[in-house]
Structure formats: structure tokens, C-alpha cells
């Protein structure tokens, strides 16, 4: 089975950037197959990874429901489950060094749980063929409270350099323990640090009982790459964000 790294945190922390750089780290350091999973309904991991998405789980689910409602014929006499399974497999974006599966934004009420559960099912299924899986979860804590986050080897909770961000991280940390989620290790990354506030927030987090994995500084190169429409996986090795995150990931025993 794959080694699973998941990311969580409130919106606006740069969680997706950390997810993309984690994929970059695994490609460069481990040199084994990586599956990136964008489980956020506000999908943007593909932009950070520099690839285009041709289909999402949300879109496929809606198309399947429409097929059922219309009674349309299915190719080759396939069952709806077989057809959907085939479509999901085809929706995986293949790129150099990694593949990507995207939840997307489903239409209609009550669809997020269903799409998330589908993501979970196929992540579990596909993880048998990958060495590493990186899951960029939606912002907040609902994915944890709904228990749609499956077995995780390393959960990285991402905060911005604010007290509010650290307090949100504390709530996520507490929820992981309260729900007894299947998470082997979890730790906090304080992202976009631009001065001495990082060490103050580290101290605050540790006083709250949170394990702090490290600090990632504000990196203007990420902003510049975004303006240019370039994937941040293309950042050079001397990028301050890359250097800091690689140091953090090196501190974990990632199989």
C-alpha cells in the first residue's frame, strides 16, 4: 500500500502550495510513482502542479446520474458501476512523475459527501499501484468530521502566520484525536512566515500541545510563478519555500 500524506487547514493558508511542493519532493527524492488527489471542491491543485484537468469526479457523478434518469444505453452493455469505474480511471491526469485525480465541484444539494466518498474509494483502490499518495483536502474540518479522510501516514496541518490560524490548527489537532482517526503522525506547518512572528507562533502552538514540524517562509517566487501561470513544481532548488519544506519532510521517516 502507498504511504499517504494528507493536508488540512483553514482557507488561505497556502495549503495547496504545500501539497504541490510535497509532490515535487516525492518525485525528486523518492523517484517512485506519486498520486496527487485534489479532494477540495474548489479545485486548484492542478494549477499548482502545472497540468490541465479534462474531467472531475463531480462531473462524472452528475453525468452518471443523468444517464440513469434518461435511461440512455450504456456502451457494451456495461453496468452503471462498471461504466463509472472506467470513467474514473480515465479521468486520472497522467503527468511526468505523478498522476492527478480531482474531485471538482459537484452540482446540486448533498453532493459533496457523495463525491468525497467516491474520492476515498478510488484513492484506496488506486493507492495499490502507487508508492505515495498526496491528498489536498478541502479547507476546514468537515472532511475530518465526516470521516471521509481514510488511513493517513502523515497529516500536515497548515496554518498561516496568525494566531487565528494556529487556533484553527489546534481544533483540527483535537478533532483528529477526538474522532480517533487512523492517522499515524500529524504535525503543524506554519506557512508564509515573513519575520519573527514565526517563532512566536511556534511557541504558542507548542504551549497548546501541538507538534510543530517547522516554518516555511513567504516566497515571492511562488507569487511570480502564479502570475506567469507556471506550476510551482517548477520552482528551483534554491527557492526558500522549497528548501524549508524539504527540510521539514526530511525530518519524517517517509517510507
The tens digit of pLDDT for each residue in 73-112 reads 556 666 767 777 777 888 899 999 999 999 886 555 545 5
- End-to-end CA, the chain: 11
pTM of the full predicted structure?
A: 0.89
Give me the chain's average pLDDT, please.
Answer: 86
Residue 173 has pLDDT above 70, yes or no: yes
- Could you give all domains of the chain from N- to C-terminal order, each with its CATH number? 3-52+92-250 (3.40.50.300)
Residues 6 or more apart in contact with residue 250 via CB below 8 angstroms: none
167 and 39 in contact (C-beta within 8 Å)? no
Q: Is residue 216 classed as helix, strand or coil in its secondary structure? A: strand
The C-alpha angle with vertex 238 and arms to 234 and 242, in degrees rounded to 5, equals 60
Helices and strands, number each (H, E), in the chain: 10, 8
pLDDT tens figures, 184-243: 999 999 999 998 999 999 999 999 999 999 999 999 999 999 999 999 999 999 999 999
CB atoms within 10 A of CB 82: 13
Amino acid at each position: 500500500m502507498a504511504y499517504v500524506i494528507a493536508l488540512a487547514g483553514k482557507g488561505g493558508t497556502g495549503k495547496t502550495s504545500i501539497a504541490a511542493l510535497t509532490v515535487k519532493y516525492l518525485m525528486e527524492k523518492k523517484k517512485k510513482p506519486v498520486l496527487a488527489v485534489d479532494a477540495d471542491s474548489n479545485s486548484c491543485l492542478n494549477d499548482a502542479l502545472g497540468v490541465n484537468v479534462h474531467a472531475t469526479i463531480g462531473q462524472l457523478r452528475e453525468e452518471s446520474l443523468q444517464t440513469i434518469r434518461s435511461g440512455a444505453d450504456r456502451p457494451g452493455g456495461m453496468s452503471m458501476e462498471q461504466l463509472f469505474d472506467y470513467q474514473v480511471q480515465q479521468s486520472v491526469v497522467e503527468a511526468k512523475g505523478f498522476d492527478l485525480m480531482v474531485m471538482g465541484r459537484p452540482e446540486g444539494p448533498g453532493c459533496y459527501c457523495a463525491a468525497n466518498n467516491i474520492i476515498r474509494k478510488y484513492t484506496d483502490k488506486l493507492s495499490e499501484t502507487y508508492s505515495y499518495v498526496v491528498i489536498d483536502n478541502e479547507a476546514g474540518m468537515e472532511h475530518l468530521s465526516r470521516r471521509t479522510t481514510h488511513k493517513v501516514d502523515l497529516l500536515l496541518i497548515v496554518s498561516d502566520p496568525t494566531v487565528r490560524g494556529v487556533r484553527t490548527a489546534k481544533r483540527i489537532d483535537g478533532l483528529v484525536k477526538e474522532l480517533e482517526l487512523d492517522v499515524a503522525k500529524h504535525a503543524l506547518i506554519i506557512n508564509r512566515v515573513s519575520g519573527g512572528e514565526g517563532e512566536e507562533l511556534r511557541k504558542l502552538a507548542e504551549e497548546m500541545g501541538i507538534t510543530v514540524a517547522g516554518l516555511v517562509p513567504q516566497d515571492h517566487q511562488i507569487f511570480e510563478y502564479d502570475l506567469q501561470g507556471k506550476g510551482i513544481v517548477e520552482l528551483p532548488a534554491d527557492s526558500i519555500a522549497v528548501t524549508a519544506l524539504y527540510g521539514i519532510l526530511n525530518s519524517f521517516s517517509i517510507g
